[in-house]
Structure 1
Amino acid sequence: MTPHAPAHAHALTVDADIRDLRGADRLLRRLAAELDLPEGTFGCTHLVRGDRPRVAVSLSLPSDPYLRTTWERLEADGHGELSAGLPDAFGRAVVYPGASALTGTTTVAELIAGSAISRVTVLGAPGTPDPGTRMVTRDHVRPQWQQGELLLAATPARGGVLVPFESPDPTPCCADH
Structure 2
Amino acid sequence: MNPRHVIGVDTEVKTLREADHLLQAVATELALPEGTFGCTHLVRGDRPRVALSFATTSHALLETVRERLTAQGYEVSQGAPDAMGRAVLYPGAVDLTGTLTVAELLSHSAIDRVVVLGTADPPPPDQRLVTRDHVRPEWREGRLVLAAMPAAGGTLVPFEVPDPTPCCADH
Give the structure-1-normalised TM-score: 0.93
2: CA distance between counterparts of 1:54 and 1:77? 18
Q: Is the 8 A contact 1:6 1:41 kept in 2?
A: no
1:17 to 3, 9, 12: 12
| Unpaired segments ≥5 residues, structure 2 | none
**Is 2:89 the counterpart of 1:95?**
yes
Give 3-state SS (helix, strand or coil) of 1:169's partner.
Answer: coil
Structure 1 partner of 2:147: 153
Distance in 2 (CA, whole Å) between partners of 1:153 and 1:159 is 18
In the alignment, what sits opposite 1:46?
41
Q: Does 1:82 align with 2:106?
A: no
Residue 75 (structure 1) shift:
1.7
> In percent, how many aligned pairs have the same letter?
63
Q: CA deviation at 1:112?
A: 0.3
Q: Give distance in 2, aligned partners of 1:31 and 1:143.
A: 20
Gaps of 5+ in 1: none
Number of equivalences: 171
CA distance in 2, matches of 1:172, 1:16: 21
Asked whether 1:131 is paired with 2:125, we answer yes
For the aligned residue pairs, the C-alpha RMSD in angstroms reads: 1.1
- Aligned match of 2:2 in 3, 6, 9? 6
For 2:140 and 2:53, locate their aligned partners in 1 and report how far apart those are by CA, in whole Å.
16
TM-score by length of 2: 0.96
- Structure 1 residue 116 corresponds to structure 2 residue 110: yes
Runs of 4 or more, structure 1, over 4 Å off, are none
1:175 Cα deviation (Å)?
2.3
Report SS of the residue matched to 2:45. Answer: coil
- For residues 58-92 of structure 1, the C-alpha deviation after alignment (integer angstroms, 9 at most, x for no partner) is 001112111111111222233x2111111100000
What per-residue deviation string (whole Å, max 9, x for no partner) do you get for residues 114-152 of structure 1?
000000000001210000000000000000000000000
Shift of 1:39: 2.8
Alpha-carbon distance in 2 for matches of 1:77, 1:6: 27
Q: Does 1:164 pair with 2:123?
A: no
